Structure 1
Amino acid sequence: MQGAHLQPPLHSVGGTDVVKVTTKDIIEQFKLELVSGEEGIHRPITTSDISRPGLEMAGFFSYYPAKRIQLLGRSEMSFFELLSVKERMDRMTQLCTVNTPGIILSRDMEVPTELIEASERQQVPVMKTPIKTTRFSSRLTNYLESKLAPTTALHGVLVDIYGVGVLITGKSGVGKSETALELVKRGHRLIADDSVEIRQEDKDTLIGSSPELIEHLLEIRGLGIINVMTLFGAGAVRSHKRVTLVIDLELWDKNKHYDRLGLDEEKMKIIDSEITKITLPVRPGRNLAVIIEVAAMNFRLKRMGVNAAEQFTNRLADVIVDGEHDDI
């Protein structure tokens, strides 16, 4: 897209940020029952780690991870019932700190009076869920890891081509959006145009999506803004896609040497992950959509162990060696 008028306020290009999640968000996401500590539901959750305070129930608070969500299951509550009244009050008072984002009881267990009183004093939200402890812990961890993943925003177009998430980059006006339109017409799917929000969900896993304001929109110079889903149907768009290949479009420079065999593999670092990058020179007469389509297919082949450039080089080397032997 051409102008910044379509871009909502985003993170700076190449920079990283953390999406904030509050206790209220997980209450709404998992339909939790809020029992007490309502005034603290806007507390931020800064880590995806979840704590099951078994040692804390026994009185060991030296390494208490107070900034984590505390999840109490049947084991913790069974031990809690064996404690004296004084010990119960002491444990729950220490469990509820000014940094604790919330305490959740699984299996719809009854919330002890001591916990309700301590939570009201420190304004720590106490919640309940009918889900089993291990299952809920897994779901909550996955949700928090997704929301708290490092993110960045890049100028470009993200397209799903034969299952390969291709991020098309390049200077403004080089033809990124026009190429994306041709790819959509050829049956591929648009994820984002102009601004691509990328989050790192794992060490080498980058997930790209579109800002909500410009989702499904494409800007073509001289034509204006078009809605890809309205024009081409729901099958022409996706909400998100893993980014595995970057194709950088640049105007043809006759003085620059371009790779003609495909042996050299360039990398581009996005957040903490390195992605394969291909630089394509743009000049009149080149069908960029077809070239990018073939690049995506060739990338898939390489990942399957089929490298045409290496095969050609090996055959060439064999021919040279055979020629030398014939001369002898």
Structure 2
Amino acid sequence: MAKVRTKDLIERFNLELIAGKNGIHREIVKSDISRPGLEMAGYFKHYAAERIQLLGKTEVSFFYDLSDEMKTDRIKRLCTDVTPGIVISRGMEVPQELIEAGQNAGVPIMRSPLKTTSVISRMTNYLESKFAPFTAIHGVLVDIYGVGVLITGQSGVGKSETALELVKRGHRLVADDSVEIRQEDFDTLIGNSPPLIEHLLEIRGLGIIDVMTLFGAGAVRSHKRITMVINLELWDKDKQYDRLGLDEDTMKIMDVELPQATIPVRPGRNLAVIIEVAAMNFRLKRMGINAAKDFSQRLTQMIDSDDDKFEE
């Protein structure tokens, strides 16, 4: 899991640092954003001090109605040793008491010109992506007609060569050899390449090639949602392979089940075309068109019709 510090939020969202410069290296440990309305009223029993605190128009207006003694008490209790920062939204004027308390306690006091809801949604999305569960898988990730296809298989089966052919056919490479995957929400997997090998393909006999230099910027992507898995394996004559497409296998990555198809590899099979068609067929299934099920239904109807004729 990546470390996120208050300094990263300041740079990412172009926040204005008002006070507490000494605390910009504080670590943020949770993606939740807290609006301390109850705390402004004096209830600190369940104060989530380790979160980013966001003061909107409601909190600031309420603060100005407090007595001087209450203002000092509330602000001091908001600025703890573990508070990563306090953000004022809407570009509002920052209370002097907050500036002084933040400076003394080393808590960064920041200001954003955006509306409160915009600040919450943007920061939450950013922090959740940073704190998302993470893993790495040996394989190749390619964007085929908008479908993120993860190609897996044992070393030397032809994953990179297939990816090169797909790039030549106009599709986009995301990652080769190692795919870093993070889980966003409960059913979304986002894959990207490690920075060291981004845009690179390893082709046995040729070595390392730079896909973006050879084919242009349109041939690569920095990240892509993974929606299906294609597993390549050497052809086994004793194994029964699915010939209709009715069997629906899945592969579990972290908490997400992804549809998986196994394609046997042997000389004469154009794997790039097969994977391309698999991606297009996956899109059709999501639109409610399933050729295998339609064929099965027609076959069943034909058998039933023949049985009726035989009975007559």
State TM-score, norm by structure 2. 0.96
Tell me what 1:202 maps to: 185
TM-aligned CA deviation for residue 74 of structure 1? 1.7
Kindly indicate whether residue 82 of structure 2 is the aligned counterpart of residue 99 of structure 1. yes
1:64 alignment partner, one of 47, 64, 78: 47
User: Out of 142, 145, 148, which is 1:159 matched to?
Assistant: 142
The answer to whether 1:50 aligns with 2:33 is yes
The AA in structure 1 aligned to 2:246 is L
Deviation at 1:208, TM superposition (A): 1.2
Q: Percent identity?
A: 71
Query: Equivalent residue of 1:63, what SS?
Result: coil
**Unaligned segments of structure 1, at least 5 residues:** 1-17
**In structure 2, what is the Cα distance between the partners aligned to 1:122 and 1:264?**
62
Instruction: Report whether the alignment pairs 1:219 with 2:230.
Output: no
> Contact 1:105 / 1:127 at 8 angstroms: preserved in 2?
yes
Amino acid at match of 1:64: Y
Matches within 5 A, 1:217-256: 217-256=200-239
Matched ranges for 1:1-328 at <5 A: 18-328=1-311
* Residues in 1 aligned to 2:91 and 2:307: alpha-carbon distance in whole angstroms: 81
Higher RCO (CA 8 Å, separation ≥ 6 residues)? 1
AA aligned to 1:210 is: S
Residue type matched to 1:32 in 2?
L
Aligned residues, how many?
Answer: 311
| Unaligned stretches of 5+ residues in structure 2 | none
3-state SS, counterpart of residue 19 of structure 1: coil
Distance 2:108 2:287 in 1: 50
Q: CA deviation at 1:212?
A: 1.6
Residue by residue over 1:156-202, the C-alpha shift from the partner in whole angstroms, topping out at 9 and shown as x without a partner, is 11111111110001111110000000011111111111111111222
**Aligned residue identity for 1:48:** S
Displacement of 1:139: 1.7
Deviant stretches of 4+, over 3 Å: none
* Residue 4 of structure 1: aligned partner: none
